[in-house]
Amino acid sequence: MKFRYFYIALCALLTSCGTSQKAVDYDANPAINLQRILDEETGEKLAHSTGLSLTVISPKLDIDFTGAAGFDSLEKDRKLDAAQPFRIASLTKVFVAVAIMRLRENGQLALDDAITQYISQEHIEILRKGGYHPDAITIRQCLIHSSGLYDYAEGGPEYIEVASKTPSRRWTRTEQIQFAMDYGKPHAAAGIEQHYSDTGYILLGEIIEKSTNTGLAEGLRSLLKLDKIGMNATWLETLEPSPEGLLPSVKRYVGPLDASEWDASVDLYGGGGLVSTTRDLAMFLQALFDGQIFEHEDSLAVMLLQKDYDAAGKQLPIQRLGFRSIQGKKNDIVAYTHSGFWGTLFIHFPEYQCSIAINNTNDADSEALQRVINYMLWLGKQS
């Protein structure tokens, strides 16, 4: 489901708290209700989506569900299996943001450090020639998209046009930074305005590499404790070996165009690049919010900006790092979420210890996620 529509719908759902759905519509078994939603959204009657995979984990609501329905491609020649992995695109940004916070825990950086302390001189010069003042751009600003950096990937149509004409091209981070300079201008001085920027996140990827003295894949895997969490179907594509024994990946599309075989480097160095499953994605959210990744008690609060302080100890009212947060207008239910270009979204509700991850084969405007959340909110109201 496209995020701009989801955001509006979720605000409405949080306000209503799921009261629009009658109890008689639900079976006593949550798995039956969730699978029914998937089946209906991919079935002939509704046909909103070619295929959907879903995981919902909520110890508080006694839900642990993973399922799928429909097909793994527009060709509809193979049934979708919930264990099939897929490129998660910009959900990778949350992993990068958490890794940056882990580096902060280790004392290897501060959020208000200038990026010039960590990125190459070559990249510093590219930014300067592009009209930026990289000494004034901080790690925090890259995290919250207030760096002023033009988005090489989605700032305009040019990048997708070039990528579609040269699908086997092996992009470098340097080429992508230069692309942002060639096709866009600074939005504003750093820290003034918010503009979504993959460019800022590939620089954060470089900062992780420099700070860990490893490749990005090794840095993420170690900092995020992916193996300890049990995320056995998650990897940074082409930058580390893929796990053995996995099913074929779900196809990826730009509109009707099959982009599944585009070189992974088109979206790899921090703005995207991870491949995962809905099961692994929901497990990651659960681990993050259950305190299994951060070492310091206040790190999650700082990331979510429940509290943050400047050097003088003054609390800072700033935006959240990595996540987008949504809160109902008439209640205290808060959700932390992020979406990805190819049709993936995950969301966590601390109120219900609930993590939801959903993947859409063809990024259609399915109502499945709205229905799943509505059901979860209804269950929460009954508990």
Q: Where are the beta strands (DSSP E) in 71-157?
A: 86-87
Q: What is the DSSP track for 34-92?
A: HHHHHHHHHSTTT---SEEEEEEEETTTTEEEEEEEEBSSTT--SB--TT--EE-GGGH
In this prediction the pTM is 0.93
- In the predicted structure, residue 19 carries a pLDDT above the cut 70: no
Mean pLDDT of 142-156: 95
Residue 127: phi, psi to the nearest 5? -65, -40
- Give pLDDT tens digits for 291-321: 999 999 899 998 987 544 445 554 443 457 8
Mean pLDDT of 258-286: 97
Better pLDDT: 170 or 28: 170
Provide the 3-class DSSP secondary structure of residue 359. strand
Mean pLDDT of 102-129: 97
pLDDT band at 26 (very low <50, low <70, confident <90, very high): confident
pLDDT band at 329 (very low <50, low <70, confident <90, very high): low
Better pLDDT: 58 or 319: 58
The CA distance from 279 to 182, in Å, is 39
Crossing angle for the helix pair 198-212 and 92-105, nearest 10 degrees?
A: 40
- In the predicted structure, residue 8 carries a pLDDT above the cut 60: no
Structure tokens at 57: 């984990």
Q: Give the number of other CB atoms < 10 A from CB of residue 88.
A: 33
pLDDT, the chain, mean? 90
- In the predicted structure, residue 7 carries a pLDDT above the cut 80: no
